[in-house]
Amino acid sequence: MTILHIDSSITGENSASRAISASIVERLRAADPAASILYRDLAAQPLPHLTLDAFADTSVLDEFLAADTIVIGAPMYNFTLPTQLKAWLDRILIAGVTFRYTANGPEGLAGGKRVIVALARGGMYDAGSPASALEHLETYLRGVFNFIGIDPEFVAADGLAIGPEQRAESIRLALGETVRLAA
Ligand SMILES: Cc1cc2nc3c(=O)[nH]c(=O)nc-3n(C[C@H](O)[C@H](O)[C@H](O)COP(=O)(O)O)c2cc1C
């Protein structure tokens, strides 16, 4: 197994998405001790905003293509993904490589990879909840990965800004979920 581990939270050691993504990678490694793991910290070493010139450098795309399993720590900022993570996605959604347009509509070309996303959100966004219309993190990531032919899996810790007890319980439940994912 070739694992690409991505983090994008700006909160360092206090980050829930980093703790959960690390737990997922640890579980995957335990299941396959020979797995190779490449780590990219998009907060510590941000990719620049996309420019036309940036398309000439395919190193981020190549890393993605070389991995069969991608684990992504994705905090919710202002109802969507961090711009650091968007800059990474801007480099892997490449027409003719990870998707193409056909007469029958768009076709994903990156199928066969496993993508697991560790979500961390301050609020609650369950279907039917007052804030559900503002959920543009999980819905966006699902749409983007579906578009390139991948059905992503999610582990979510929600309500992290509600209070310390809710935060601890949500992270505990999410870390427990990672056992199931690696099975
Ligand atoms: C800049 C910033 C913006 C945020 N915006 C939202 C938001 O729109 N909705 C929400 O539910 N939580 C929001 N939060 C709370 C985070 O989603 C929450 O703190 C989560 O734990 C962040 O993930 P992390 O712990 O991995 O950093 C925001 C936090 C920060 C730092």
* pTM for the structure as a whole: 0.97
Nearest residue by C-alpha to atom 10 in ligand 1: 122
Query: What pLDDT is stored for residue 85 in this prediction?
Result: 98
Q: Give residue 78 CA to ligand 1 midpoint distance, Å.
A: 7
User: How would you list the strands of the sheet with 69-75, edge to edge?
Assistant: 36-41, 2-7, 69-75, 114-120, 153-157
Q: What distance in Å separates the CA atoms of residue 135 and residue 137, rounded to the nearest whole number?
A: 6
- CA angle, residues 136, 142, 158, in degrees to nearest 5: 55
Query: What pLDDT is stored for residue 166 in this prediction?
Result: 97
Q: Give residue 14 CA to ligand 1 midpoint distance, Å.
A: 12
Give the pLDDT means over successive 10-residue stretches in the chain (183 positions): 98 97 97 97 98 97 98 98 98 98 96 98 94 97 98 97 98 94 75
Q: Give residue 44 CA to ligand 1 midpoint distance, Å.
A: 18
Q: What distance in Å separates the CA atoms of residue 118 and residue 100, rounded to the nearest whole number?
A: 28
Q: What distance in Å separates the CA atoms of residue 24 and residue 5, rounded to the nearest whole number?
A: 9
